[in-house]
Amino acid sequence: MTRPDEPARPAWPAELARPAPDLPGDPAGQGNPAGHGILATHGTPPGRDAPEAGLDARLLVERGTFRLDVAMRVAPGEVVALLGPNGAGKTTALRALAGLTPLTGGRIRLDGRALEGTPPESRPVGVVFQDYLLFPHLSALDNVAFGPRCQGASRTRARALAAEWLDRMGLAEHAGVKPRRLSGGQAQRVALARALAVRPRLLLLDEPLAALDARTRLEVRARLRRHLAEFEAVAVLVTHDPLDAMVLADRLVVVEHGSVVQEGVPSEIARRPRTEYIAQLVGLNLYRGQAQGHTVRLDAGPRVTTTESLAGPAFVAFPPSAVTLHGERPHGSSARNLWHCRVAGLETHGDQIRADLTGELPLAADLTTVAAAELGLHPGAEVWATVKAAQTHAYPV
């Protein structure tokens, strides 16, 4: 994208369009192994405002009894996260975009160019795999230079580009270091630099933070967010971690059982989840029922009083923190919602105790360790749960 106050960006160097040479450092002897996330880029990218700029795809893949059917439209400069449980089809979708899994049907258009029949090495795609797949015998510099070399850049030019990318990633001093001597966060940044060095029009990231420990994950997530904010083409992130998705992506596409069940900006999905899986991810109790005025009769049986007035099929949600537990049926409580429950289980949840409740209405409740001790909570204990109407949120199905 060329900003109004910037001069037009020159066309890419002609040396990057030449056929890839045979590389002595290529362990597969193929010049450009797609399995290592180095996918070639060809041609000059269109501007952000070009009519066909960005990704327009419908991914149909059938494998045995599993069927993937996911449609996506992503604008240049946008980061979209494919979010879903294990086995939902997220990685299959990413591999289909990369050309590593063939489509059964559908389409892939990138900047107006059809990619369905294009081999992986000829697609303008960069990939960062979950375990990074860095060449163990090459330095960080030569790992990053590998992509430009596959595109025909001279050794000097490729290494100069690699040095620039390592510097942008804060890794200039690690240029000569081999992967086994890099930390997890450093290896992740080298893999990202290698993917970006080929100037892809589509960047694919498969669980890019999954291999990191909790402390490193915080730092690398922040760095990755900055780098993605600067990326001017299309980025698609696959993850099952809701925090990674919420922090890194502009928009979420939630996939379950091979199909899209909800999509939108993170704040909207967090506020209005439409499946139990999403509700659990964002930490809400979620129910479905029939609304009439300020009351929603749940499919599970009881009623929930809300502040919203609706009619017809509706969801109603509230956080576990909105639930107050009582050892005996409360009298004079201002809460409009009251259910008789039984404790099914207790677990530590951050600095609180989360109670899993069954009975009149299955729900999760959060309370302090002091409150849990005062109530004498244990599996099998009977309690009364209350929720104020103002702490619920009802919305149409």
Domain harbouring 236, CATH code: 3.40.50.300
71 and 210, same domain (yes or no): yes
pLDDT value at residue 10:
29
Q: How far is CA 91 from the centre of its chain?
A: 11
31 and 178, same domain (yes or no): yes
Question: Which range among 38-47, 101-110, 307-316 shows the weakest confidence by mean pLDDT?
Answer: 38-47
257 and 304, same domain (yes or no): no
Tens of pLDDT, residue by residue over 274-322, are 999 999 888 899 999 999 999 999 987 899 999 999 999 999 999 999 9
CA angle 134-135-138, nearest 5°? 120
Residue-averaged pLDDT of the chain: 85
165 and 210, same domain (yes or no): yes
Question: Which range among 41-50, 109-118, 279-288 shows the weakest confidence by mean pLDDT?
Answer: 41-50
Q: Which residue, 139, 169, 142, is CA-closest to 153?
A: 142
End-to-end, the C-alpha distance of the chain in Å comes to: 38
What is the residue whose two structure tokens read 């037009």?
8
Please tell me the pTM assigned to this model. 0.78
310 and 377, same domain (yes or no): yes
Helix (H, G, I), strand (E, B) or coil at 274: coil
278 assigned to some structural domain: no
Give the amino acid at 335: A
- The secondary structure of 195-220 as a DSSP string is HHTT--SEEEEESTTTTS-HHHHHHH
200 and 296, same domain (yes or no): no
CATH number, domain of 307, equals 2.40.50.100
Strand 251-256 versus strand 79-83 pairing type: parallel
pLDDT top residue among 183 and 49: 183
Number of domains observed in the structure of the chain: 2
Residue ending a domain, choose from 240, 271, 302: 271
277 assigned to some structural domain: no
246 and 388, same domain (yes or no): no
Tens of pLDDT, residue by residue over 348-363, are 877 899 999 999 999 9
With b for 16 or more beta-carbon neighbours within 10 A and e for fewer, the 350-384 pattern comes to eebbbbbbebbbebbbbbeeeebeebebeeebebb
Region 234-254: what's the mean pLDDT?
A: 91
Phi then psi dihedrals of residue 46, to 5 deg: -75, 165
Q: Which residue, 130, 109, 135, is CA-closest to 26?
A: 135
pLDDT value at residue 41:
41
C-alpha 377/C-alpha 368 separation (Å) is 11
Range of the domain at 356: 283-396
